[in-house]
Structure 1
Amino acid sequence: MLTDYHNHLERGTLTLDYLKLFTDEAKGKGIEHFGISEHAYHFYETKNILSNPWVNERRTYKMDDYVALFHQAWRQNIDVKMSIEMDYTTGKHTEMEQFIKSYDFDYVIGSIHWVDTFGIDLKEYIDEWDKRDVNEVYNDYFDQVVTLAESNLFDIVGHLDLVKIFNYVPTDQDFLLKQYDRATTALANSKTCVEISTAGLRKPVEELYPDQRLLQMCYDKGIPIVLSSDAHQPNDVGKDYDQAVKLAKQIGYQSLMTFEKGKRKEVELG
């Protein structure tokens, strides 16, 4: 079986017609477990969790409309999971938990896109990389991975090493491996799965998330995985899954985790 749990409607509309372009693509590619996980910052209901000028310009959705879209799809027997991708925000555990518990999500993805006020994966902030110490950014990023895991609020951590997106990577490999080690130890002690995401292949880094060494640590510590494309347009659903499956099996994974209404079930990796 295959999963694709990380997908976004934000470049189109919150309509059934647009949603069906994604679900039809998933069905055509043999993806049995498919979900939409829109960025939580788009919704007015998350203003008390994450707020900055970049985010606030993009906060245009209401959760009632989002939930209604899924109910409309389910009434038409369209098999799609309802999720959210939430920016893990230090110091906002109570607010994040309240938001997550307010909706009947099938699963919740936690991701890190911000290190303080630095949008690490945004082109608008790319010049900031040359003004900062790369090791410090990585240390602060993986600090958040650790506390994300320790919060135990999330079912999946999104693109675990997103911080490498623009090819700014520590030259000290021992330092980098220490970051990987402490992150995977925290994840292993939580309920959080890791996604193998093909999105990195479409980014400047041109690599899968996570790095092979990082994924090996995940496997060695018993952390389950899902497959995701992080598609922001329909034709990217399930894209490059041959590479994701190959890496997963090369590392040793033989199964994926699936989700429904917060309950998880292990299935054979297709």
Structure 2
Amino acid sequence: MDRDYHVHSTYSDGRFLFQMVRAAAEADLDGVGIADHCSVSDREEIQEQKHLLGFNLDQTYERRREAIERLREETDIAIYDGVEMDYHPAEEGQIRSFLDRAGFQYAIGSVHHLEGVNVHVERYFERQSDADCEALVEQYFDQLVALVESELFDIAAHIDLIERNPALRGYATESQYRRVAEAFTDSRTIPELNAGRALGEYGEFHPSPEFLDVLAEYEVPVTVGTDAHKPGEVGERVRHLERYLDRRNIQPVTVEF
């Protein structure tokens, strides 16, 4: 592993740019991608969450780009100007327009919400019946397939994010994994091996071992991202990813800009 395409900074919910870049250099990476969260949704519930969290990269990306340019002059590590976009099928036009205007080096797509609620919110989903959870997980994979087929993104992030939520964990099926794998075989979008909660309470990488087996069966390549929000997470997750890649005999691909 020589590049990490998924690191956050204070332009969303991470730490200072220079701290994240320094941590990537100390982890002996050749390149690090700053992929802050961004949403261009005009749905009221998403707008409310966006304002509460302060995720406004759609307004600050040029300022961040200037900061990245300055950092490039001070370090030998390659710094990539990326973005992690919230995706919903009804908002493809808005997303495409923004990405065309902003001109990032690459874009990561993510499904973060179901019924307007972030999939991490356990208290909302734990009130749902088994049948409702099954339907919500099906909805998640419907949106994920649409994300891949949209051809808007270079990378698809944490493609079974629902597994982080104990209330939604275990509902995904092999047939859903196969639907996603088939979509990737016909798309330029590459799934990401994401270490966001592999060392935390979830304890697994995304995708899960079972999902990763299906992707391998379809010969779908993967790239890698630590999904680090703090400097101390970068090196720790890089080492964990490298051990996992070796154990699974996976050679991650380099994203072409």
Indicate whether 1:54 and 2:49 are aligned.
Answer: yes
Q: Could you tell me which residue of structure 1 aligns to residue 33 of structure 2?
A: 35
Cα deviation, 1:166-214, whole Å, max 9, x if unaligned, reads: 2234656xx6111111111112211111111111224432211110111
**Structure 1 segment 29-108 matched on structure 2, within 5 A:** 29-41=27-39, 46=40, 48=42, 51-57=46-52, 58-61=54-57, 62-77=60-75, 79-108=78-107
Distance 2:209 2:241 in 1: 11
Q: Could you tell me which residue of structure 2 aligns to residue 3 of structure 1?
A: 3
- Residue type at the aligned position of 1:214: F
Distance 1:253 1:14 in 2: 28
Structure 2 residue corresponding to 1:189, chosen from 182, 186, 191: 186
**8 Å contact kept, 1:39–1:86:** yes
**8 Å contact kept, 1:49–1:89:** no
Aligned length: 249
Distance 1:13 1:252 in 2: 32
Distance 2:143 2:85 in 1: 13
**8 Å contact kept, 1:224–1:257:** no
Using the TM superposition, give the Cα deviation of residue 68 of structure 1 relative to its aligned residue in structure 2, in angstroms: 1.7
Cα deviation, 1:12-39, whole Å, max 9, x if unaligned, reads: 8999xx3221112111111112110011
- Residue type at the aligned position of 2:6: H
Indicate whether 1:130 and 2:129 are aligned.
Answer: no
**Structure 1 segment 113-262 matched on structure 2, within 5 A:** 113-121=112-120, 125-132=121-128, 133-169=132-168, 176-259=173-256
**8 Å contact kept, 2:110–2:157:** yes
Q: 1:202 to 1:247 in 2, by over 3 A?
A: closer
Using the TM superposition, give the Cα deviation of residue 164 of structure 1 relative to its aligned residue in structure 2, in angstroms: 0.7
TM-score, with length taken from structure 2: 0.86
Q: Could you tell me which residue of structure 1 aligns to residue 23 of structure 2?
A: 25
Gaps of 5+ in 2: none
- Residue type at the aligned position of 1:93: E
Distance 1:208 1:56 in 2: 30
- Residue type at the aligned position of 2:198: L
Moved more, 234-243 or 77-86: 234-243
- Residue type at the aligned position of 1:130: E
Using the TM superposition, give the Cα deviation of residue 60 of structure 1 relative to its aligned residue in structure 2, in angstroms: 4.3
Gaps of 5+ in 1: 264-270
Cα deviation, 1:90-126, whole Å, max 9, x if unaligned, reads: 21111111111112322110011101212102xxx32
TM-score, with length taken from structure 1: 0.83
Distance 1:170 1:39 in 2: 24
Q: 1:232 to 1:74 in 2, by over 3 A?
A: same
**Identity of aligned pairs, percent?**
22
**8 Å contact kept, 1:11–1:232:** no
Pairwise CA RMSD: 2.5
Distance 1:81 1:192 in 2: 18
Moved more, 176-185 or 67-76: 67-76
SS at match of 1:199: coil
Cα deviation, 1:24-79, whole Å, max 9, x if unaligned, reads: 211111111211001113xxxx3548833212322445222122222222344552
